[in-house]
Structure 1
Amino acid sequence: MAEMKNMKVEVVRYNPEVDIAPHSAFYEVPYDEQTSLLDALGYIKDNLAPDLS
């Protein structure tokens, strides 16, 4: 079993209905050598920022 580590993922967020300009949001995501970017984004959506789409 692979050892899980954490990485910081930066997501540029922008909702034109409420934001004046895009802004960065940072999330700590667990990963191993099999984790893809899509896996990381799915983790963020499922566990940290449900409004991410």
Structure 2
Amino acid sequence: SLLLCGGAAATPEQCEALLRLAVEACERYYPALQFVMWAGKSAEEAITAAMFETQGRA
């Protein structure tokens, strides 16, 4: 969300950043939704799988 008080208007840069973060969140958590709906897994299993982050270098 973007907090705008006192008649402030969002800048194009703020809108771009907000949309970029929203898309990143969708890309990260959509697989968890599929895991629950299509694989019949629990929400806990799905979020654990979605939060997996690879570390290191290949």
Say yes or no: TM over 0.5: no
* Greater strand fraction, Structure 1 or Structure 2: 1
Of structures 1 and 2, the one with the larger relative CO (CA 8 A, separation 6+) is: 1
* Greater helix fraction, Structure 1 or Structure 2: 2
Q: What TM-score comes out, normalization by structure 2 length?
A: 0.27
